[in-house]
Amino acid sequence: MSIVIPTHNRRERLRRTLDALATVTRPPGGLEVVVVMDRCTDGTDAMLQRLHPPFPLRALALAGQGGPAAARNAGAAAAQGSLLLFMDDDVEPSPGFVAAHVAAHAAPDAVVIGALSPALDGQAGFFRIALRRWWEDMFDRMRRPGHRFCAFDLLSGNVSLPAALFHRAGGFDPTFTCHEDYELGVRLMRLGARFTFAEAAVARHHEATDLRGALQRKFEEGRADVALGHKHPEIIPELPLHRLWELRSRRARAVRRLAFLAPAATGVTTRAGLVALWVLERVRARRLWRRVLNDLLTYWYWRGAAGALGSPAALARFATARSGDASGAEEVLIDLRDGVATAEASLDRLRPAAARLVYGPHPVGRLPARPGAEALAGRHLRPLLEGALAAPLLDAMARAGAVPADLDATRLRALCRAVPARPTSDAEPATRS
């Protein structure tokens, strides 16, 4: 196991990370740590030389342009382990951290995403709550049974994968300075890597960003997502950019237009938003505060995208560009009348990109193909049947006479029709007649 840590002028933080690594349970095959110093000028080098950790520690100085992607590539090239673990310099591992990563690699070609629990020391108030939830929600999603992993679940702050798989994918793309992990995720998914979430591989993440830092980050994400779409057009429908572009409310359009058409107003808009947030927090108007924060973050995301795309017309062309690759995916037919266990086994055997679900002759819904997402598997099915597909499934079962006769199937069908159909990205319920 080789741990690769890129760092940029965070000597003390890095030292704490290495101190914590000294206390983790080491795997039987041994452990090495490769620190890649990305244009460090704060004496990180001297600190590393004074350190005598209980594991082999190598320090590389990155030459050239720099950036976290290039630093990780350089670290991976120098690493000797058959497993690579990428972690950031502000991440403090728990004692079982490395062992949990190693244990999750029992099957080949796994990409193991570890949990990060946010340690927020510098923030306060509503922003602190929002930031903590932003981090928690990311892992909350992956923790849910039946989560369908996608390329964007890959977070380079705490992830491990076989070195061979990393090199086969071609490593990180150094032209990305943000979302380089998502971009690698797309290529790994294409290679059929198996993404998994390891709750036990938990580390504390010392998040130091403030509200202005979060806005700057959104700007970079907007720019990076355009680059991501240019490199992998099939992924565009999955980008936040596409979802935001599809929003048709007057408010959403106003935020977008402001970002694209009045770049000179950036300072004024931001200051007005920050003042509004301050006032709303004073009067504890949570709902409004969240809306304003959301608008402000979206505004900065669009500023980043506008810098890369130029005009609203270019955005429209970008958002509607389709490679047609996903929509033509092959769909398998699954009959739920044979039982859920049989259906799960079929999905596990076939691993299709998309599936159409029926109960005998009656339609239940579709599990659509999603670009950048893993192929369908048996474990995805049950939560969808109990959730988004419950009404069409019960309706189909009532029509097929599969509910106990004295429980009034006619009323059940009326109840099913009253439940509004809510398609999600993972399941599209069939319309009920």
Partner 1 sequence: MATAVLDLDLSAAPADIAGLNRYDRALVLIRWCGHPVGVVELPVAGGRLDGQATRRAMIDRLDWAFWERWLRDRLGEPAPARRPATVAICTRERPDDLQRALEAVTRGLDDGDELLVIDNAPSSDATRRVVERFPVARYVCETRQGLDVARNRALREARWDVVAFTDDDAVPDRGWLRALLPPFADPLVLCVTGLTMPLELETPAQEAFERYAPFGRGFRRRVFDGTRDDPLAVGHVGAGANMAIRRSALEVVGPFDEALDAGTASRTGGDHEMFARILAAGYRIVYEPDALSWHRHRRAWPEVRQTAYGYGVGVYAMWTRLLFEAGEVGVLSRSLTWFFDYQLPRIARAASRRAGSPPVLLLLAELWGCAAGPWAYLSARRRLRRGLAAG
Smallest distance from partner 1 to CB 260, Å: 29
Among 287, 324, 420, 433, binds partner 1 (CB under 8 A): 287
Among 143, 253, 349, 417, binds partner 1 (CB under 8 A): 143
Q: Which tokens in the block code for residue 368? A: 């659509």
Count of CB atoms within 10 A of residue 341's CB? 11
* Phi-psi region at 339: left, alpha or beta (left = phi > 0; alpha = psi -120 to 50): left
Among 11, 26, 58, 132, binds partner 1 (CB under 8 A): 132
Q: How big is the CA angle at 422 (ends 419 and 428), to the nearest 5 degrees? A: 115
**Which of 19/140 has CB closer to partner 1?**
140
Smallest distance from partner 1 to CB 408, Å: 6
Does the footprint of partner 1 cover residue 284 (CB under 8 A)?
yes
Among 167, 243, 286, 351, binds partner 1 (CB under 8 A): 286
Among 22, 103, 129, 421, binds partner 1 (CB under 8 A): 129
Among 283, 324, 420, 431, binds partner 1 (CB under 8 A): 283
Smallest distance from partner 1 to CB 226, Å: 29
Span near partner 1 by CB under 8 A; candidates 29-37, 44-52, 62-70, 412-420? 412-420
Among 393, 396, 427, 430, binds partner 1 (CB under 8 A): 393
Compute CA distances 77 → 34, 56, 166, 216, whole Å.
10, 16, 10, 31
Q: Which tokens in the block code for residue 264? A: 């000179």
Compute CA distances 412 → 225, 366, 390, 394, 403, whole Å.
45, 22, 12, 8, 9
Residue 216 near residue 303, CB atoms below 8 Å: no
Smallest distance from partner 1 to CB 132, Å: 6
Q: How many residues bind partner 1 (CB under 8 A)?
A: 30
Phi, psi at residue 197, to the nearest 5°? -110, 130
Among 385, 388, 427, 430, binds partner 1 (CB under 8 A): 385
Span 50-89, contacts to partner 1 by CB under 8 A: none
Alpha-helical segments (H) within 64-207: 68-78, 97-103, 125-143, 163-169, 180-190
Q: Which tokens in the block code for residue 274? A: 């920050």
Does the footprint of partner 1 cover residue 405 (CB under 8 A)?
no
Span near partner 1 by CB under 8 A; candidates 72-80, 183-191, 265-273, 277-285? 277-285
Taking the C-alpha atoms of residue 319 and residue 235, their distance in angstroms, rounded to an integer, is 10
Span 10-49, contacts to partner 1 by CB under 8 A: none
Does the footprint of partner 1 cover residue 432 (CB under 8 A)?
no
Taking the C-alpha atoms of residue 336 and residue 344, their distance in angstroms, rounded to an integer, is 9
Q: Is 35 exposed, middle or buried (0-12, 13-18, 19+ CB in 10 A)?
A: buried
Residue that the structure tokens 């690699």 belong to: 105
Among 231, 337, 382, 432, binds partner 1 (CB under 8 A): 382
Does the footprint of partner 1 cover residue 406 (CB under 8 A)?
yes
**Which of 146/307 has CB closer to partner 1?**
146
Does the footprint of partner 1 cover residue 285 (CB under 8 A)?
yes
Residue 50 near residue 6, CB atoms below 8 Å: no
Does the footprint of partner 1 cover residue 119 (CB under 8 A)?
no
Span 315-374, contacts to partner 1 by CB under 8 A: 340-341
What contacts 24+ positions apart, CB below 8 Å, involve 263-268? Answer: 263/303, 263/306, 266/303
Angle between helices 312-320 and 286-309 (to 10 degrees): 90
Residue that the structure tokens 């079962």 belong to: 397
Span near partner 1 by CB under 8 A; candidates 180-188, 238-246, 323-331, 400-408? 400-408
Among 282, 349, 351, 422, binds partner 1 (CB under 8 A): 282
Among 12, 19, 140, 325, binds partner 1 (CB under 8 A): 140
Does the footprint of partner 1 cover residue 262 (CB under 8 A)?
no
Q: Which of 85, 70, 246 is nearest to 173 (CA)?
A: 70
Element holding 171 (H helix, E strand): none
Does the footprint of partner 1 cover residue 204 (CB under 8 A)?
no
Contacting residues toward partner 1, per CB under 8 A = 129-130, 132-133, 136, 140, 143, 282-287, 290, 340-341, 382, 385-386, 390, 393-394, 403, 406-408, 411-412, 415, 419
